Amino acid sequence: MRRPLIVAGAAALLVITSAAAQHTLGQNSISAVARSIALFQKAGKVFQSPRCLNCHPVGDRPTQLDRMVPHQPLVVRGIDGHGAPGLACDTCHHAANYDAAGVPGNPGWRLAPASMGWQGKSLGEICEQIKDPARNGGKDMAALLKHVSEDSLVGWAWGPGGKRPPAPGTQAEFGALMRAWAASGAHCPPDKRK
């Protein structure tokens, strides 16, 4: 009699433990999603900085300044993001910021692809965009994390020169946030217009 009792007890414990584990896992899943979204919302302060948004227009024309007014003079994306024939971005924007003329610069100065227009988009929409290789230039998550962490033009947002307020934090912190977001499942905020 003693042996069946032990087996029954072990089985009951397994059921209880399993149920407890499922309950805990469920709570963790919910909090993991919330944490992932929270991480992206934190990173979103960078994505939605004027330093980033100005060159991520939804149309063909970039904006400028913190007020995000239309770029002066009129410039457009062109076929490759480097401007129109005869008026490429590097006609005025050179390899480095030049404060004497008030002109920002970086060797890679260009507009983001039209598929990566963020102006007027909710953070959820931006999140879905940047995860989508069809829209983000064919980047998988590893390539996306490398881009945000190491790309020099992305990094310009933290060294914009002149009186331009930089994007929040540092590129290293931004990269760490994005890696943590990816590791947490890369969940996006609910898709609501801001």
In the complex, the residues that contact another protein under the rule CB under 8 A are 72-76, 84-88, 90-96, 98, 100-103
Min CB(155)–another protein separation in Å: 19
For another protein, which is the closer residue by CB, 94 or 187? 94
For another protein, which is the closer residue by CB, 9 or 70? 70
Min CB(80)–another protein separation in Å: 13
As a dihedral over the C-alpha atoms of residue 73, residue 168, residue 133, residue 84, rounded to 10 degrees, the angle is 10
Min CB(25)–another protein separation in Å: 57
| Calpha distance 38→101 (Å, rounded) | 40
| Calpha distance 57→41 (Å, rounded) | 20
Q: Give the tokens for residue 63.
A: 């904006």
For another protein, which is the closer residue by CB, 137 or 162? 162
Min CB(154)–another protein separation in Å: 22
Residue 175 neighbours by CB distance under 10 Å? 20
For another protein, which is the closer residue by CB, 1 or 79? 79
Q: List, as one string, the DSSP characters of 122-177.
A: -HHHHHHHHH-TTTTTS--HHHHHHHHHH-HHHHGGG---TTPPPPSS-HHHHHHH
> CA dist 73 to 14, 70, 104, 167, Å?
71, 8, 14, 24
Min CB(159)–another protein separation in Å: 16
For another protein, which is the closer residue by CB, 73 or 138? 73
